[in-house]
Structure 1
Amino acid sequence: MLLTPFCLVMSCLQVVPDRSQFYRYNSISLSCEDQLNATGWKVKRKTPEGGVRPCTSGWGTTSSGSACVIGNTYPSDTGVYWCESGDGNRSNSINITITDSTVLLESPALPVSAGAAVTLRCKAETESPNHTFEFLKDGRVVRSSATGEMTIRRASKADEGLYVCSIPGFGKSLGSWVNVEGSPAPSSSPPPAAARSVSVTRLMVHVLVGTPYLLSTILLALIHRDRSRGENTPVSMELF
């Protein structure tokens, strides 16, 4: 399994497919990626209806000690999931929502690396070529789409927030929080045209301001040179 940058620096829970919302009867695979060299990792969850319970205690099946599969999801599977080792170490937590809504938002379950591209997808329970899609962040429409996709080219902290997708006249999804971790890598792209224009303008101002001083300095040097020559030239006297 390809690890996300977030999982390369700590032990974490991986979700396949990588999203936080699922329809009823979907299948979810959860696994613990160990970066702490701990032992006895198990997937656990806490739902609104019950306490903390490990995989196979009434939900999910295991393919190995640190993996858990939910074959058919139900709204009762909505809750907070994490990994826990026999030594008491805990991974990150992920909120998973199982919905009966007519619209579902597909967004990453794990934090997104700053500077990375992120794609959100809006899915309708019943697809139609007449659908139009709107993406909302913190209650405000940020993007309209005819394809049901919204891509953030370079994610930053400003993109962090609660996202919802809506299909006008059809329905709206539940909200999912998108986390952005770290700082983006410095861009190697050339400065924009406006910045280059400002730089050229500043250069011209410096040249125009400095030119009179330069000319005055040269003129004074020439006068001083001529005077020096005049003083050093011997005066010829004629005897009468």
Structure 2
Amino acid sequence: MAMKQQVGSLSAGIKLTHSGTLKSCFVSPLVFVSVSPRQLQFFKYDHFCVSCEGEKDMDGWRVIQRRRDGKVCSEPVSSLILSGFMVSVFVIYISPQVHQHMTPLCVSAAFPETHSGTYWCETGLGANSSDIIINITTGSVILESPAVPVTEGDSATLICRSKSPGMTEFYKNDVLINNGIEGSMTLLDVSVSDQGRYRCKVRRSGESPESWLTVRALSPPHQEQSAPLLSVFTLVRLLIVGAPYLLSTIILGLIYQDRRSERRALQASWARGARRKVTMQIIT
């Protein structure tokens, strides 16, 4: 009872880990999977949380994990052995606040094989976010890199963490790109060419797993995209509003031209009649 009073409305379930779950086809650009701390590699027993974030209503979104062995779990908060089967315990917290119905997936990475893998956000309506790969290592070196895509023109910092500091080397796609004793490097004015696989190595300590750095290309300014659409809309509006006036002007012009032609014809007829009268008077 005390636990219910502390966390509010809480429901828990136990679900056998299974394989064969497929990701949805539609990828939503407005929702992404977030990690706290914002890194993709952790030492064994480190604590981290994974959650779904976005700009719209987050109702129905949940965290999904595909483990290294291919098994897929839905919001695994912790793992345990029950009657010889690996099961995942998932907890859903119903918050009194609007649009916030699930707690982040938080784990203490005691089982690298269980907690390492691919994470993404998904709904039951066929939408999902892009995914990230989290590595839990039993070694003594990890690489801290951005856990979310880096926008072109921004900077990205890579930090090599080691239990025994030493000379550090950074690699991109297996090519040495930097070394020194600082243990960190910053990529300035990032471009799409900086996207790739990164890892680091500390002498006499070992090397980290690889992490993928994603670079998001800049989209054209919003005003440049909307200006042509605005011009077309304005033109259509002017045509709709001005069409009745234009049509009435044309009709009045045609009526005026017709009456003017009739008047000229009548004047010409009067002139011919007057000339006949003058001629007849002269003859008589």
Please report the TM-score for the alignment, with normalisation by the length of structure 2. Answer: 0.57
Which of 189, 206, 212 is 1:171 aligned to?
206
Question: Do the aligned partners of residues 118 and 78 (structure 1) sit closer, same or farther apart at CA in structure 2, a change above 3 Å counting?
Answer: same
Which of 94, 98, 121 is 1:83 aligned to?
121
Q: Which amino acid aligns with 1:58?
A: S
2:157 — aligned with what?
119
Question: Do the aligned partners of residues 69 and 38 (structure 1) sit closer, same or farther apart at CA in structure 2, a change above 3 Å counting?
Answer: closer
Structure with greater Cα Rg: 2
Do 2:164 and 2:205's aligned partners in 1 also have CA atoms closer than 8 Å? no
Question: Do the aligned partners of residues 59 and 176 (structure 1) sit closer, same or farther apart at CA in structure 2, a change above 3 Å counting?
Answer: farther
Q: Which amino acid aligns with 2:190?
A: A
- Deviation of the 1:40 alpha carbon: 1.2
2:249 — aligned with what?
none
- Distance across 2 between alignment mates of 1:185 and 1:73: 45
- Distance across 1 between alignment mates of 2:111 and 2:64: 17
Do 1:43 and 1:81's aligned partners in 2 also have CA atoms closer than 8 Å? yes
* Higher alpha-carbon deviation: 11-20 or 177-186: 177-186
- Deviation of the 1:61 alpha carbon: 5.2
- Distance across 2 between alignment mates of 1:179 and 1:166: 21
- Deviation of the 1:60 alpha carbon: 6.3
Moved over 6 A (4+): none
Do 1:115 and 1:185's aligned partners in 2 also have CA atoms closer than 8 Å? no
Q: Which amino acid aligns with 1:162?
A: R
Segments of structure 1 that go 5 or more residues without pairing to the other structure are: 1-7, 187-240
Question: Do the aligned partners of residues 39 and 112 (structure 1) sit closer, same or farther apart at CA in structure 2, a change above 3 Å counting?
Answer: same
2:74 — aligned with what?
54
2:133 — aligned with what?
95
Which of 106, 116, 140 is 2:144 aligned to?
106
Do 2:43 and 2:140's aligned partners in 1 also have CA atoms closer than 8 Å? no
- Distance across 1 between alignment mates of 2:48 and 2:204: 30
Do 1:9 and 1:35's aligned partners in 2 also have CA atoms closer than 8 Å? no
Do 1:45 and 1:54's aligned partners in 2 also have CA atoms closer than 8 Å? yes
2:168 — aligned with what?
133
- Distance across 2 between alignment mates of 1:184 and 1:88: 26
- Distance across 1 between alignment mates of 2:45 and 2:91: 15
Give 3-state SS (helix, strand or coil) of 2:129's partner. strand
Which of 168, 182, 197 is 1:147 aligned to?
182
Q: Which amino acid aligns with 2:55?
A: Q
- Deviation of the 1:170 alpha carbon: 2.3
Please report the TM-score for the alignment, with normalisation by the length of structure 1. Answer: 0.66
2:105 — aligned with what?
68
Question: Do the aligned partners of residues 100 and 142 (structure 1) sit closer, same or farther apart at CA in structure 2, a change above 3 Å counting?
Answer: same
Question: Do the aligned partners of residues 81 and 140 (structure 1) sit closer, same or farther apart at CA in structure 2, a change above 3 Å counting?
Answer: same
Query: Can you list the C-alpha shifts for 1:136-193, whole angstroms capped at 9, x where unaligned?
Result: 111111111211010011111121111110112321111111111113999xxxxxxx
Q: Which amino acid aligns with 2:171?
A: L
- Deviation of the 1:72 alpha carbon: 3.4
Question: Do the aligned partners of residues 133 and 18 (structure 1) sit closer, same or farther apart at CA in structure 2, a change above 3 Å counting?
Answer: same
Give 3-state SS (helix, strand or coil) of 2:49's partner. strand
Question: Do the aligned partners of residues 83 and 184 (structure 1) sit closer, same or farther apart at CA in structure 2, a change above 3 Å counting?
Answer: closer
Within a 5 Å distance, the mapping from 1:197-236 to structure 2 comes to none
- Deviation of the 1:104 alpha carbon: 0.8
Do 1:156 and 1:184's aligned partners in 2 also have CA atoms closer than 8 Å? no
Query: Can you list the C-alpha shifts for 1:57-99, whole angstroms capped at 9, x where unaligned?
Result: 6156556515211133421211110111232311111111111
User: Does 2:192 correspond to 1:157?
Assistant: yes
Do 1:102 and 1:170's aligned partners in 2 also have CA atoms closer than 8 Å? yes
Aligned-residue RMSD, C-alpha: 2.4
1:25 — aligned with what?
45
- Distance across 1 between alignment mates of 2:109 and 2:57: 32
Do 2:149 and 2:216's aligned partners in 1 also have CA atoms closer than 8 Å? yes
- Deviation of the 1:118 alpha carbon: 0.5
